[in-house]
């Protein structure tokens, strides 16, 4: 063990000595490794942070949940909107029929949504998202109430003129969120009393899913007195029982919806079943493609860096030929010489990688402020960066180290 530590110590000391004696040459050689690590780790850290944030936003849409809507949420440049625009909207009665016919359903809710101006005194917020959910909405799509309370069972059933508003709306209208409880707001001339304020959600990559910070919630019956239902965007939210396979659940819902709408065997579906798990898979596929681009650019830089490090090691072997001969003459084994040069090469690569990582840390600080959510280097990515540096160091130094290890001591000493 003592011998191993001595070899490592000597290799590290020689690597530092190489940097001191040949600053320009070594610095130029390190640039390839530094830039390669910066590209790979910078892209991976950014993409990993973005993906985690997106996945958190997707999870906020509800687990094991399917949205029944006339629109397909897949999107894309070739989105056939003309195929969906004339489809019938989901109806409240269809929600009730689904609940009574599907044994795989655990919870189900009907939600109406629309944009409206929210007034309180002399203040007005324009184009605020207003939701009108039924009873089980908050169980499928949970959120915390920071001040006050959520709707009670009587209000949900009879349509009390009460409202729950988002944290940002409460601040804009009343200064402090806690001041909002008990105050009155008007939407389209209809007055309601605020009974609760939703806990601040923060901004996510997808706008925080439902964008509760800038929303107003009414009970479903009261919402219908405020907005004409034909001018709203309704959907049915369905959550499967625990352990139910999402594809089996989707298949049963499809059969039930086709039966409810009396569609013939040859007729196409006039509804879409949008599973939250589908959004997660699409996001993962997209970010994997972006990561590949970072790997491609980074690997090209690392190849250049590897050749540069190899060049340093060839020069180093030539400059130390006599010293290598003396070491072998007094009993140093081939493996010892080989390991010393490989460690030295790895230390040089690690130094370049460390500089690259410092640059990535600076990048994460900038992006965190720009995006409004944390961009970070995970422990897994950090280990990957160090592993890449060591691997590049070994690959770059293997040939020069092998040459040094095979030198004849007598010939090597005479080369001086």
Residue 42 CA to residue 154 CA, distance in Å, equals 53
pLDDT at 323 over 50: yes
Q: What is the dihedral of CA 220, 225, 226, 227, to 10 degrees?
A: 80
Q: Are 329 and 8 in contact (CB under 8 A)?
A: no
Residues ≥6 apart with Cβ < 8 Å to 299: 36, 40
The contacts of residue 337 (CB under 8 Å, 6+ apart) are 324, 327, 328, 401, 404, 405, 407
- Strand (E) or helix (H) holding 225: helix 220-226
More confident call, 134 vs 281: 134
Segment 372-391 shows an average pLDDT of: 84
Cα–Cα distance for residue pair 314/412, rounded to 1 Å: 15
The H or E element spanning position 17 is: helix 2-21
Question: Residue 133: is its pLDDT beyond 90?
Answer: yes
Question: What is the DSSP secondary structure assignment for residue 132, as one 8-state letter?
Answer: E
pLDDT at 415: 66
Beta carbons within 10 angstroms of residue 69's beta carbon: 20
Could you tell me if 171 and 164 are in contact, meaning their C-beta atoms sit under 8 angstroms apart? no
Which of 390, 263, 409, 278 minimizes the C-alpha distance to 337? 409
Residue 79: count of CB within 10 angstroms of its CB:
12
Q: Which residue has the tokens 């340093």?
A: 312
3-state secondary structure of 117: strand
- The model carries a pTM of 0.67
The pLDDT tens digits for 67-77 are 999 988 876 66
The pLDDT of residue 98 is 92
pLDDT (0 to 100) of residue 329: 77
Average pLDDT of the chain to the nearest whole number: 83
Half-sphere exposure of 315 (CA within 13 A, CB side): 12
Residue partners of 303: CB distance under 8 A and separation at least 6: 32
Please write the tens of the pLDDT for every residue from 178-208: 999 999 999 999 999 999 999 998 765 444 4
pLDDT exceeds cutoff 70 at 124? yes
- Of the listed ranges 4-13, 291-300, 303-312, 397-406, the least confidently predicted one is 4-13
Residue that wins the pLDDT comparison between 206 and 325: 325
Cα separations (Å) of 193 from 114, 120, 147, 184? 19, 11, 14, 5
pLDDT score, position 208 = 46
Q: How many CA atoms lie within 13 A of 314 on its CB side?
A: 9
Instruction: Classify residue 109 by burial, with Cβ atoms within 10 Å: 0-12, 13-18, 19+.
Output: buried
Is pLDDT of 118 > 70? yes
């Amino acid at each position: 063990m003592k011998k191993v530590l001595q070899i490592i110590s000597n290799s590290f000391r020689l690597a530092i000595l190489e940097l001191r004696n040949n600053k320009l040459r070594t610095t130029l050689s390190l640039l390839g490794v530094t830039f390669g690590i910066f590209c790979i780790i910078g892209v991976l850290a950014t993409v990993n942070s973005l993906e985690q944030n997106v996945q958190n936003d997707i999870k906020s849409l509800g687990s094991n949940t399917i949205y029944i809507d006339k629109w397909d949420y897949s999107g894309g440049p070739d989105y056939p909107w003309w195929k969906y625009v004339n489809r019938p909207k989901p109806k409240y009665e269809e929600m009730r029929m689904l609940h009574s016919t599907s044994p795989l359903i655990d919870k189900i809710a009907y939600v109406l949504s629309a944009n409206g101006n929210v007034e309180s005194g002399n203040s007005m917020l324009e184009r605020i998202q207003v939701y009108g959910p039924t009873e089980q909405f908050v169980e499928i799509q949970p959120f915390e109430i920071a001040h006050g309370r959520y709707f009670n069972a009587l209000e949900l059933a009879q349509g009390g003129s009460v409202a729950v508003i988002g944290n940002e709306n409460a601040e804009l209208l009343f200064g402090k969120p806690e001041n909002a409880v008990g105050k009155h707001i008007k939407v389209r001339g209809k007055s309601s009393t605020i009974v609760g304020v939703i806990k601040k959600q923060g901004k996510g990559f997808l706008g925080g899913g439902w964008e509760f910070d800038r929303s107003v919630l009414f009970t479903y019956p009261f919402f219908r007195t405020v907005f004409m239902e034909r001018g709203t965007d309704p959907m049915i939210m369905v959550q499967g029982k625990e352990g139910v396979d999402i594809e089996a659940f989707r298949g049963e819902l499809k059969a039930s919806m086709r039966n409810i709408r009396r569609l013939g065997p040859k007729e196409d579906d006039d509804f879409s079943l949008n599973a939250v798990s589908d959004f997660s898979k699409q996001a993962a596929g997209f970010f994997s493609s972006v990561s590949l681009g970072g790997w491609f650019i980074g690997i090209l830089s690392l190849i250049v860096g590897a050749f540069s490090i190899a060049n340093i090691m060839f020069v180093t072997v030539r400059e130390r030929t006599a010293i290598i001969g003396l070491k072998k003459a007094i009993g140093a084994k081939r493996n010892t010489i080989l390991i010393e040069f490989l460690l030295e090469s790895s230390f040089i690569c690690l130094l370049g990688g460390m500089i690259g990582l410092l640059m990535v840390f600076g990048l994460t600080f900038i992006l965190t402020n720009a995006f409004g959510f944390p961009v970070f280097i995970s422990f897994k990515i950090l280990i990957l960066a160090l592993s890449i540096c060591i691997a590049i160091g070994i690959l770059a130094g293997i040939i020069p180290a092998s040459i040094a290890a095979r030198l004849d001591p007598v010939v090597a000493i005479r080369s001086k």
